[in-house]
């Protein structure tokens, strides 16, 4: 499996250097131990051997310092790559929002023209049916109107449009306005967006895809928590995977494997909790608790 991993990114290149440094340091330590073994080198006190030991110690310390520096750089590179991935997903969502708004604009104009035509024809019964159909169509897109976080409202608006295009039964229940939700805008979009994306992918494996999103706030043990639940039918998660699904690069859908890793990283940053259940009967449910 490891032979299939590409090492073209900067962080992976630094990882290779780091591994090389650790191997070199380990080799030098073995040499140093060997040189200080009197059984192997009886003339250990001679200036020649003392000089070799001194050089080995200096080189070993130098390599050790390089290893520490590379560990720090590798950590920084990994954080930067994660941030870039988060920003890319955020920009993708913004682009989809613009496209959805443009599409909705044209749809509303068409609906208004039809309503105007039916009014002119004085066809009250057909007008009533048409308005009822429009109401049923746009209702899912306005179930989250009470949200005070504009980025979350925009995200759900986009996802509702995508769900409509893909014939996904998408329902949203908002029980709190999320005004004091502690995550920044990009983090909030990435967390909820990745969960919904995964839910869409899994649900589409079912002949009647369904996705349900619930945003709430609850009190537990004297503390307040924001609750995000995303439920879907379709593909389930094998029980033996456990927390492996949150590992960076791990995927069961041939994707980049960053979605749940990013979600878990954000949850951990805010000392939150993430859990999931998955079964054929109830589908897959991801539950996130973020302390206020």
- The string of pLDDT tens digits covering residues 74-104 is 767 776 776 777 677 667 766 766 776 676 6
pLDDT in tens, 28-61: 666 555 555 554 555 556 666 666 666 766 776 6
Half-sphere exposure of 28 (CA within 13 A, CB side): 19
How does residue 5 score in pLDDT terms, banded at 50, 70 and 90? Answer: very low
CA distance 13 to 288: 34
**Helices vs. strands in the chain: H and E counts, helices first:** 6, 5
189 in Cβ contact with 123 (< 8 Å): no
Cα separation of 164 and 207, whole Å? 15
Looking at residue 50, its pLDDT comes to 61
The pLDDT of residue 2: 37
Q: What is the pLDDT of residue 7?
A: 36
Residue-wise DSSP of 148-197? --HHHHHHHHHHHHHHHHTT-EEEEEE-S--TT--S-HHHHHHHHHHHHH
Mean pLDDT value across the chain: 79
Lowest pLDDT segment from 13-17, 83-87, 192-196, 269-273: 13-17
pTM of the model as a whole? 0.60
- pLDDT of 1 > 80? The answer is no
pLDDT for 194: 92
Lowest average pLDDT, out of 6-10, 69-73, 119-123, 183-187, goes to 6-10
Q: Is the pLDDT score of 232 beyond 90?
A: yes
Q: What is the pLDDT of residue 84?
A: 77
3-class SS of residue 2: helix
> What pLDDT is stored for residue 176 in this prediction?
92
Instruction: Please check whether residue 272 is in contact with residue 289, taking contact to mean a CB–CB distance below 8 angstroms.
Output: yes
Structural contact between residues 260 and 267, judged by C-beta atoms closer than 8 angstroms: no
The pLDDT score that the predictor gives to residue 265 is 92
> By three-state DSSP, how is residue 269 classified?
helix
Domain 143-291 in CATH 3.30.565.10: yes
Cα of 30 vs its chain's centroid, Å: 43
Report how far apart, in Å, the C-alpha atoms of 135 and of each of 99, 126, 132, 162 are.
21, 14, 5, 18
Partners of residue 273 on adjacent β-strands = 289
pLDDT in tens, 98-155: 776 676 677 778 878 888 888 888 888 888 888 878 766 665 555 667 788 988 988 8
Span 202-225, mean pLDDT?
93
| pLDDT tens column, 154-212 | 888 888 888 988 999 999 999 999 999 999 988 999 999 999 999 999 999 999 999 99
Retrieve residue 101's tokens. Answer: 């708004």
For residue 254, pLDDT beyond 60:
yes
| Element holding 284 (H helix, E strand) | strand 283-291
Q: How far is 260 from 279, CA to CA, in rounded Å?
A: 19
Residue extents of the structural domains in the chain: 8-82, 143-291
DSSP code per residue over 77-143 = HHHHHHHHHHHHHHHHHHHHHHHHHHHHHHHHHHHHHHHHHHHHTT-HHHHHHHHHHHHHHHGGGGT
**Is there a contact between 178 and 149 (Cβ–Cβ < 8 Å)?**
yes
Q: Which pLDDT score, from 0 to 100, does residue 14 have?
A: 55
């Amino acid at each position: 499996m490891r032979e299939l991993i590409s090492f073209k990114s900067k962080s992976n290149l630094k990882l290779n250097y780091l591994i090389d440094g650790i191997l070199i340091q380990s080799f030098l330590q073995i040499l140093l131990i060997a040189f200080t073994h009197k059984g192997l080198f009886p003339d250990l006190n001679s200036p020649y051997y003392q000089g070799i030991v001194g050089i080995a110690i200096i080189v070993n310390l130098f390599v050790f310092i390089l290893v520490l520096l590379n560990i720090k750089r590798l950590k920084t590179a990994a954080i930067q790559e994660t941030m870039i991935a988060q920003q890319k997903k955020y920009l993708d969502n913004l682009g989809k929002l613009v496209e959805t708004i443009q599409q909705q604009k044209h749809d509303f104009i068409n609906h208004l023209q039809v309503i105007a035509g039916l009014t002119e024809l004085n066809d009250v019964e057909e007008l009533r049916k048409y308005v009822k159909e429009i109401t049923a169509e746009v209702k899912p897109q306005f179930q989250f109107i009470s949200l005070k976080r504009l980025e979350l409202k925009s995200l759900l608006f986009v996802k509702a449009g995508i769900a409509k295009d893909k014939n996904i039964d998408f329902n949203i229940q908002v029980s709190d306005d999320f005004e004091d939700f502690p995550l920044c805008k990009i983090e909030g979009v990435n967390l909820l967006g990745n969960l919904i994306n995964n839910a869409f992918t899994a649900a589409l494996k079912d002949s009647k895809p369904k996705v349900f999103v619930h945003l709430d706030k609850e009190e537990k043990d004297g503390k307040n928590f924001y609750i995000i639940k995303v439920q879907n039918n379709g593909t389930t998660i094998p029980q033996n995977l456990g927390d492996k699904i949150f590992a960076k690069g791990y995927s069961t859908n041939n994707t980049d494997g960053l979605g749940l890793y990013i979600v878990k990283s954000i949850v951990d940053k805010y000392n939150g909790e993430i859990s999931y259940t998955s079964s054929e009967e109830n589908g897959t449910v991801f539950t996130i608790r973020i302390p206020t």
